[in-house]
C-alpha cells in the first residue's frame, strides 16, 4: 500500500481528510468571494474586488439594530449560563448521588432536541404564562440553550482539577469560599473562558429559537438576516455572513489558545 510522508498514514486517508475539509471550507470560501463582488447581484468577482457590500451594511439601520440586540443578548445569555452552569458542573463532576446521570441527561437535553421543536414548546409555555416581553423571554430561552455547552466544558475542566491542593487548603483552615476563589477558580479559569466563548457563539448565531420568539419590536441579527435574504438577493447578505463567521472563528481560536479543543472531546 502506498504511504504518505507519515509511514503510518495511508494516502487514501489523507485524501479523504482533504475532501472533507474542502466540503466544509468550500462554501465559506464561495460566500467570501461573493461578498467581494463589485456587481449588484450575487456573483463571483471577475475583474476586480470591492468592499462596497461591507460598507453597505452601515446603511442598513435594521441590521445594525439587530446586531446590537444579538450582541447584548449573547453577553447576558453567556453570563446567565455560566452563573447557572458552574454550580451544576461542580455538583455533577465532584459529587456522587442517586439520579446523577438522570440530572445530567436533563441538563444536556437541549443538545438532543431540534431547535424548532424546543422553540415551539417554549413559545407555548410563554403564551400560557402570558409572558409577552420579547427581550426577557428570548434571554431565558438562550440561557437554557447555552447551559449544556457551559456544563459540558466545565465538567471536562473540573475533571482535571488537582484535589490535593483543595484538601491542603481546607486542612489549613480555609473556608469554602476561599478554597473556591483561590484554589478551584484559578485551575478552571481556562475552561470557564472556553465555556463562556462557546455560549456566546451559540447564542449570537442562533436562529432556530429566535425566529419564534422575536417580533416586529425586537429582532436578532440571524433572524433579521434570514428575513432580509428571503426578499433580497444582493451580496450584502454574504458580507454580513462573512463578518459573523470571522467573529465565530476568532472565538474558536481563543478557545484553542486558552483551553485546547482536544480537551473538550475527552
CA distance 28 to 45: 15
Q: What's the pLDDT score for residue 72? A: 93
Q: pLDDT truncated to tens, each residue of the chain (266 aa)?
A: 444 445 577 888 889 998 998 998 888 888 888 888 888 888 888 888 888 888 888 888 888 888 889 999 999 999 999 999 888 888 887 777 777 778 878 888 888 878 788 888 888 888 888 887 888 888 999 998 899 989 888 888 887 777 777 777 777 777 777 777 877 788 788 788 888 888 998 898 888 888 888 877 788 888 888 887 777 778 888 888 888 888 778 877 776 776 665 554 44
Q: What's the pLDDT score for residue 4? A: 46
Return all residues near 123 (Cβ < 8 A) that are at least 6 apart: 212, 213
The tens digit of pLDDT for each residue in 109-155 reads 888 878 788 888 888 888 888 887 888 888 999 998 899 989 888 88
Return all residues near 153 (Cβ < 8 A) that are at least 6 apart: 191, 194, 195, 198, 259, 264
Whether 220 and 73 have beta carbons less than 8 Å apart is answered as yes
- Cell numbers 434570514 correspond to 226
Return all residues near 148 (Cβ < 8 A) that are at least 6 apart: 107, 108, 109, 110, 111
CA distance 29 to 246: 12
Specify the pTM: 0.76
In 3D, which of 75, 114, 62 has the Cα closest to residue 219?
Answer: 62
CA distance 35 to 226: 16
What cell was used for 196? 463562556
What cell was used for 105? 441527561
Q: What's the pLDDT score for residue 7? A: 56
Q: What's the pLDDT score for residue 5? A: 47
Q: What's the pLDDT score for residue 260? A: 61
Q: What's the pLDDT score for residue 3? A: 46
CA distance 22 to 24: 5
- Count of Cβ atoms closer than 10 Å to residue 216 Cβ: 6
Domains, the chain, in order of start with CATH, read 60-265 (1.10.3720.10)
Amino acid at each position: 500500500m502506498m504511504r504518505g510522508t507519515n509511514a503510518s498514514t495511508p494516502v487514501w486517508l489523507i485524501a479523504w481528510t482533504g475532501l472533507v475539509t474542502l466540503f466544509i471550507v468550500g462554501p465559506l470560501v464561495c460566500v467570501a468571494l461573493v461578498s467581494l463582488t463589485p456587481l449588484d447581484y450575487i456573483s463571483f468577482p471577475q475583474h476586480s474586488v470591492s468592499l462596497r457590500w461591507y460598507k453597505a451594511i452601515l446603511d442598513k439601520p435594521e441590521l445594525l439594530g439587530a446586531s446590537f440586540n444579538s450582541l447584548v443578548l449573547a453577553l447576558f445569555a453567556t453570563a446567565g449560563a455560566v452563573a447557572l452552569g458552574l454550580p451544576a458542573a461542580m455538583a455533577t463532576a465532584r459529587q456522587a448521588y442517586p439520579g446523577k446521570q438522570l440530572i445530567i441527561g436533563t441538563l444536556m437535553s437541549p443538545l438532543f432536541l431540534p431547535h424548532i421543536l424546543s422553540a415551539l414548546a417554549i413559545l407555548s409555555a410563554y403564551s400560557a404564562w402570558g409572558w409577552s416581553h420579547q427581550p426577557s423571554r428570548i434571554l431565558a430561552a438562550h440561557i437554557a440553550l447555552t447551559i449544556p455547552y457551559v456544563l459540558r466544558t466545565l465538567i471536562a475542566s473540573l475533571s482535571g482539577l488537582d484535589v490535593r491542593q483543595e484538601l491542603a487548603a481546607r486542612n489549613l483552615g480555609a473556608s469554602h469560599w476561599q478554597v473556591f476563589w483561590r484554589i478551584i477558580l484559578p485551575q478552571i479559569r481556562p475552561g470557564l473562558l472556553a465555556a463562556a466563548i462557546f455560549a456566546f457563539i451559540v447564542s449570537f448565531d442562533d436562529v432556530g429559537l429566535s425566529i419564534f420568539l422575536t417580533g416586529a419590536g425586537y429582532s436578532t441579527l440571524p433572524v433579521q438576516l434570514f428575513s432580509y435574504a428571503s426578499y433580497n438577493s444582493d451580496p450584502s447578505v454574504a458580507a454580513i455572513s462573512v463578518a459573523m463567521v470571522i467573529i465565530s472563528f476568532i472565538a474558536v481560536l481563543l478557545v484553542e489558545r486558552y483551553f485546547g479543543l482536544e480537551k473538550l472531546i475527552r
